[in-house]
Chains A and B, each alone.
Chain A
Amino acid sequence: MAYDGCPQRCWGQGRGMRSAIIAILSALGCFYLLFSMPSAQAQTIVSEQDRLFQQMLRNPKNLDITFSYVKVATDNGDYEAAIGALERVLFYQPNLARVKYELGSLYFRLGSYEMARRYFREALACPDIDATTKALIEASLPDADKQTQQSRLSGFAQTGLRYQTNASYAPTGGIVRLGGQDLALLPSATRGSDTNWFALAGISHDYDLDNQRGDTLETRFVGYTTEQARFSDLNVDQFDLSFGPRLALGTDLLPGATIKPYVVGGNTWLGGASYLGSAGAGISASIPVGARLTLGPEFEWRHVDFNNEDVVPLSSFNSGDWFTTGIALSSPLTQQLRLDTKGSYRRGDSQFNFQSFNQWVGEAALSYSFTPPFGGAPRNWNLSPFVRLIETDFDAPNPAIDPATTQRDTEWIAGVMLEAPLTKTFGVSTVVQYDRTNSTLPNFRQNNFSAMVGPTAHF
């Protein structure tokens, strides 16, 4: 389940944008297909692997051919072929730290963490190990070790500063509509920039039931807090918690496919007062399709309860039931490039039809993983441009705002994220993003540029 917090995304401007979302998702699908189809280049790589294998069969002791074969097979994702060749090299010379690390990394990528751990430990014991290889192993050995445990706890945390040009989400023109009349906001309520201190944590716990289907009990937690420099009434404290079993479908038709029913709940405080609580249940699935694509369909129901009595008629969203369905697509396009996309639809039913809505979301992130520009860092850096398009159509005009105009908002967000691990545990992450909302009502037209930076930790 992807955490989605409170989706008070005010969009509008309708059908055209919905078409745009569909078009973007379609384009991303085509993008994936282009990368995943057996292109001429991919065929060439396979042919090259075959050619090198034939040479290796004729002369197994030729290490130049063997290492070329290992490289091509690895690039081709045929890790088992590379394992067979490198294990032969260990027959010739059993104490090669780099070969053992490479073997461990191949098993690691195949999910054979017990073999990865074994080879990592053997590599550390080799007399020829160099400092770089040792650092690489010391970064990944704990990961491999953890994956062989029945109870596995992992986490991500960040703290830092966030600057926003429009921290109060005031309308762009300083104009609001009230009772069908356009009015000017008082200067105290107009757009204002602000900086906040933030901290977030994401924790996952998997308890392996140790059956041969691979079923696990999954717990996911997200916590998020901010402390504004100016708008202290907009300080956020938020958590979201879900729990459910992930069950293997265990069918020959869908090998590796899992399904996860879960319960979920959370609460958000604004300015120290409880503002929004939610609870519900959902079901999600993970379906590998071939070696390079995983589909993640999901459905979730949440009852949301807003504590906004003082401004109920003026809020875009209010208490009710939200039903969300969507599908995520995740694909390693190459060894370094990964595409994650998601399309979802949400129906929000509230007491008032002007606070009931249909919402469409399309989002994508392309992650480029690369070797750090300076040596010694045992983790790859990641550069991830991302985009998110959101359209929200409410069912009816809000009579308190404009009895003649139904709120329709279209929001788009674009940005880029750089995650730069500096050690096996700690690093720095920075994000810059711009978001803009177009709306049928001036109240909700806004734009905001924000930048976040701060240290990160993984465990």
Chain B
Amino acid sequence: MDLRAHLTILTRLLTILLSAFAPMTRALAENFGKVGAVNQDATGTPPEGSAHTLVVGAGVVYKENIQTSAQGSTQILFPDQSTLNIGRNSSLVIDEYVYDPKTNHGSMLISLAKGTTRFVGGLISHNDGVVVNTPVAALGIRGGVATVVYPVSPKLAASDPNLAGCSGQMVIGHVGTLTLKNAVSQVTVRPGFAACVNGTNIPIVAPFRISDLVLANVVSTLRSAPGQNGGASTLPAAPFIASNQIGTVILNRPVHPPGADPLGYTSIFGGGSDVVRNKSQATQLKSGVAPPPYGAH
């Protein structure tokens, strides 16, 4: 067999091998995120690939760099039912995403180079936790919802005295346990609070209550601007929303003062009755008694 024949066999073997691996690669790609909504400009750049415009339904592959322009924003859905909203002027990479649907365990690592993102947790964050890195700190999310902004703009910092001097990363806790750490410090951020970290070697300041004004500013960057439709071909209308029973829930009060619950309520009356009974039954014996009526025994 000459060299040409050897090369032919080798080429065929390589072709078979590559053909065998190709579905696995595709499977890996399909098992990753899907673009659920997108406002342009938003692009994805796979590793060693070229940038392409994101469209609704497109897959997001391992280590793909997602970038949005000053008008762009997008939402990515993940197989563990978590979602990632990416706001305007953002750039991030999903460095790691492993999910086993049989066990509902996995791992997720996101690197935010700049911009705003909100992570809404799914099975991975509930069972194992998710990490969001920025150039200045790492955020661990356990079972919840969090918003990350990096860097904090001077305009945003000026909107709340608690953000004065904040120019690095801001983390807002919404649901679950958040742990923010850099090279020199670590803080826990509870729901309704935010924390700022200005550098890797600068201690993280104590978390503070997030103001509605700051939240409004941040939320506005994470959704469509006027005139945008997130890539939808048919816009949802109010009657359609109503017919699907969206927005009909009646919420219960979040706190129950004493007596506002059935057992507490009845125990108040019971407490009063007990005192009356103790006094009344003793007093009855002093109020006078007579021989028992006939047949009492």
Instruction: Give the interface of A toward B (CB within 8 A).
Output: 2-10, 49, 53, 56-61, 63-64, 67, 70-71, 78, 80-81, 83-94, 96-99, 101-102, 105, 107-115, 117-118, 121-122, 128, 130, 133, 136, 139-140, 143-144, 147-148, 150, 152, 154-156, 158, 162, 168-171, 173-176, 178, 182-186, 188-189, 200-204, 206, 210, 212-214, 220-222, 224, 226, 234, 236, 238, 240, 255, 268, 270, 275-276, 306, 308, 310-311, 314-317, 340, 342, 363-365, 367, 369, 371, 378-380, 382, 384, 386, 388, 401, 413, 415, 417, 429, 431, 433, 443-444, 452, 458
Contacts and interface: CB of A to CB of B under 8 A. Distances in A.
Q: Which 10 A-B pairs have the closest CB atoms?
A: A5-B271, A98-B247, A91-B230, A84-B83, A202-B258, A202-B259, A91-B37, A8-B274, A92-B232, A8-B278
A276 B275 contact: yes
B263 A2 contact: yes
Contact of A212 (B193, B249, B251): B193
Given A67-B244, A99-B246, A117 B235 contact: no
Interface of B: 34-39, 56-57, 73, 75, 77, 79, 81-83, 85, 118, 120-122, 144-145, 174-175, 177, 187-193, 207, 209-210, 212, 215-216, 219, 223-224, 226, 228-238, 240-242, 244-293, 296-297
Contacts of A7: 271, 274
A169 B283 CA distance: 11
Given A81-B122, A113-B192, A204 B56 contact: no
Contacts of A315: 278-279, 282
A8 B277 contact: yes
Given A91-B73, A98-B246, A111-B191, A386 B262 contact: yes
A169 B274 CA distance: 10
Contact of B246 (A4, A67, A122, A210): A67
B102 to A, nearest CB: 12
Contacts of A144: 254
Given A176-B284, A311-B286, A363-B263, A92 B236 contact: yes
B250 A378 contact: yes
Given A92-B37, A114-B212, A178-B289, A80 B122 contact: yes
Given A7-B271, A114-B215, A184-B289, A87 B223 contact: yes
A203 B250 contact: no
Nearest to B225: A94
Contact of B174 (A10, A81, A107, A371): A107
Contact of A92 (B192, B235, B264, B287): B235
B281 to A, nearest CB: 6
Nearest to B219: A118
Contact of A4 (B209, B244, B271): B271
A117 B271 contact: no
A371 B175 contact: no
A244 to B, nearest CB: 14
Contacts of A221: 258
A156 B261 CA distance: 10
Contacts of B177: 255
Contact of B265 (A147, A155, A183, A417): A417
12 contacts: A8-B277, A87-B223, A88-B37, A93-B229, A107-B174, A111-B191, A112-B191, A184-B289, A186-B290, A221-B258, A369-B252, A458-B260
